[in-house]
Amino acid sequence: MDSNIASPRSPKWQFRFDFFNTHGAPNSPAFKAAYKALPFGQKIKVNFNFFALFFGCIYLFILGMWRKALTIVGLTVVLAVVVAFLPDAIGRGVAIAWSLLIALTTNYNYYLEQVKGDTSWNPFQGIRW
């Protein structure tokens, strides 16, 4: 393949997509081994999305992942109702954890949507537990 051909994606997204394409899903052993070998900055680049952390489902809508965004909206409403009955500190902790979970899954979900053509409603595919 000619490296002079411009990619429709930014270098950051191209790096992420190449990493996922080479090493598979984040829950696979090959991914885990390759991920451990990366320097800290590249680990963050592959596995974390700051826009998704701060903007959540709005960012997913912008990326065109409306199915996953609607699922997250629904789950957020359910979480908000449950957390409304808990102390404020617990509610804040749950909100922070929820935002981090979305930020950790967005890159792989976008890869699945753009490269693999997966249009599922599951926003947590390939998550590393």
pLDDT tens profile 78-120:
999 999 999 999 999 999 999 999 999 999 999 999 988 888 8
1 lies in some domain = no
Whole-number Å distance between alpha carbons of 7 and 61: 22
* Crossing angle of helices 66-83 and 88-111, rounded to 10°: 170
69 lies in some domain = yes
Contacts 24+ apart (CB under 8 A), 106-109: 106/49, 106/51, 106/52, 106/59, 106/60, 106/63, 107/16, 107/20, 107/46, 107/47, 107/48, 107/49, 108/20, 108/25, 108/26, 109/60, 109/65, 109/68
124 lies in some domain = no
81 lies in some domain = yes
34-56 residue pLDDT tens:
999 999 999 999 999 999 999 99
4 lies in some domain = no
**Can you give the residue range of the structural domain that contains 87?**
11-116
Residue 2's pLDDT is what? Answer: 47
The total of structural domains in the chain comes to: 1
Residue 10's pLDDT is what? Answer: 83
Residue 44's pLDDT is what? Answer: 92
